[in-house]
Amino acid sequence: MKEKRKKTSIVRRMMWAVGLGFVCGFLMIALRNALGGSSSSVWRVLDAVLFQDISETKGFEGIGLFYIVSQLFMRGLQMAIVPLVLTSLSLAICSLGDPKKLSRIAGKTFLTYICFYVVAAALAGTAAYFVKTMGWFSVDLPANQATEISTMDSYNPLVTLINAVPSNIFEAFTSNSSILAVVVVALILGLCMSHMGEKCDPLKNVIQNLNDVIQMYLNFLINRIGPYAIFCMITRALAVYGTEYIGPTFVWMATTIVVSLILVSTIYPIGIFLTTRLNPIPFMKKVFKVGMFAAATNSSAATLPLNTKTCVDELGCSEEISSFILPTGMTVNMNGTTAMHMIAITFIATAAGIDVTPSMLVTAAFLSICTAMGTPAIPVAGTTMVYIIMMGLGLNSELCMIGYSLVLAMNYLPGMAVITLNVIGDAATNVIVCVKEGVLNKEIYYKEPSK
């Protein structure tokens, strides 16, 4: 109960931060217009004290309080990116690859998760690219900000394969622009620890402890500092850039919600039918309450008992297999998160003036799948991972940071749809694996759900 109240208070603080940020931002726009525009001497003083980008000034020309708070928060997130990827992903792979679990069931589970990941990423990427092509993510940037637009140089996509394997792992760890290399190192580390078994227990304990420290740090940063930073980011973005980002932000929210709902109602029923030849309608009827509960609580952990009960008692799944697949899926199966990543990255890059290409989306999908599989159980973990994808793609301009701050601030409603995609995916995988293992009770599966 205490944890639930804590989570609710976090959401409430985030909502207050977003609301106050928009109110103060609009007030700043009105004040600037009332003072005669950006050239007003009073506005220049206010801008220097609150909003000035002090990294671009020569000498002590401003204080930039809102800018400082925003940058400290973003740099605090950035500081944790490399160790977070290394520890969470290596531990996830090591746990999945434990010799006691690397059985036929684990292999089928992992393969099903990967298939759902790829399909979700492809469909979400296609939808995001369509929205981008229609111009709904585009922002008309002020003339004085046009010089900040970044470009993605053309290159042979196969170079990504070479750069994925670092010649010096410590060099890869010193830069957030080498996230793909860190992902590869984490995968290798996790597989090697799995193969060595108990010999690596001391190292696993060290990595687990480090992961716990990072999660505690991120919990503090996001829960305690996050609302203030989001308030500063939104207020500053409106004061400096006007209202141009509002429309594309709501388009991102609507696109994420719609795509998630379409995916949850299509890929899982189709996947069940194609792999098992079962009628997917009973499945959708019975897991509907699971999806609604997940959306209401916004917690896969809180939904686990209901998901387990539904799978065993109403879908006829094996209790033994369910006890492995569903808890594993809470961490490993985050295809909804990957779908959200694809849309968020397209929005952030396009709003910052960067042309998103299909090859860029393919790289984003690979990074997202790898990082989503190791997503730790921390608040707004999925949106925290968006930052990792951004760094891997070189999306590090200030305009990109504004887009990311809006994604982080406005993620609650889209997150309700995303988590539904995640938890129902766990149940679908459970049904598929149980059928393949010949242990699904079809009589229970086809039995009408209790009223």
pLDDT one-digit tens code per residue, 351-383: 888 889 998 999 899 888 887 776 654 545 677
pLDDT of residue 342: 95
pLDDT of residue 338: 92
Nearest to 407 by CA among 253, 272, 280: 253
pLDDT of residue 165: 81
CATH class of 2-446: mainly alpha
Contact 11, 412 (CB under 8 A): yes
pLDDT of residue 57: 64
pLDDT of residue 152: 40
Cα separation, 364 vs 393, in Å, equals: 7
Cα separation, 395 vs 74, in Å, equals: 13
pLDDT block averages, 10 residues each, the chain of length 451? 48 78 88 83 86 72 84 82 79 63 74 93 96 87 46 47 77 72 82 82 90 84 82 83 79 93 95 94 92 76 81 89 79 86 93 88 89 61 79 82 81 84 93 92 85 54
| 3-state SS record for the chain | CHHHHHHHHHHHHHHHHHHHHHHHHHHHHHHHHHCCCCCCHHHHHHHHHHHCCHHHCCCCCCCCHHHHHHHHHHHHHHHHHHHHHHHHHHHHHHHHCCCCCCCHHHHHHHHHHHHHHHHHHHHHHHHHHHHHHCCCCCCCCCHHHHHHCCCCCCCCCCHHHHHCCCCCHHHHHCCHHHHHHHHHHHHHHHHHHHHHHHHHHHHHHHHHHHHHHHHHHHHHHHHHHHHHHHHHHHHHHHHHHCCCCHHHHHHHHHHHHHHHHHHHCCHHHHHHHHHHCCCHHHHHHHHHHHHHHHHHHCCHHHHHHHHHHHHHHHCCCCHHHHHHHHHHHHHHCCHHHHHHHHHHHHHHHHHCCCCCCHHHHHHHHHHHHHHHCCCCCCCCHHHHHHHHHHHHHCCCCHHHHHHHHHHHHCCHHHHHHHHHHHHHHHHHHHHHHHHHCCCCCHHHHHCCCCC
Cα separation, 321 vs 342, in Å, equals: 31
What would the pLDDT profile of 270-288 be if each residue is shown by its tens digit?
Answer: 999 999 999 999 999 999 8
pLDDT of residue 126: 96
Burial of 216 (0-12, 13-18, 19+ CB in 10 A): exposed
Question: Structure tokens of 168?
Answer: 């010096």
Q: Which amino acid is at 303?
A: T
Distance spanning both ends of the chain, measured CA to CA: 28
Question: How far, in Å, are 71, 176, 278, 360 from residue 105 at the CA level?
Answer: 46, 36, 19, 34
pTM of the model: 0.73
Residue with tokens 């594993």: 328
Cα separation, 339 vs 353, in Å, equals: 22
Question: How far, in Å, are 363, 365, 367 from residue 155 at the CA level?
Answer: 13, 18, 18
Nearest to 376 by CA among 384, 368, 365: 384
Cα separation, 378 vs 363, in Å, equals: 25
Radius of gyration of the chain (CA): 23
- Count other C-beta atoms under 10 Å from residue 154's C-beta: 8
Checking 159-165 for CB contacts under 8 A at 24+ apart, the result is: 160/363
Torsion of CA 185, 187, 189, 193, to 10 degrees: 180
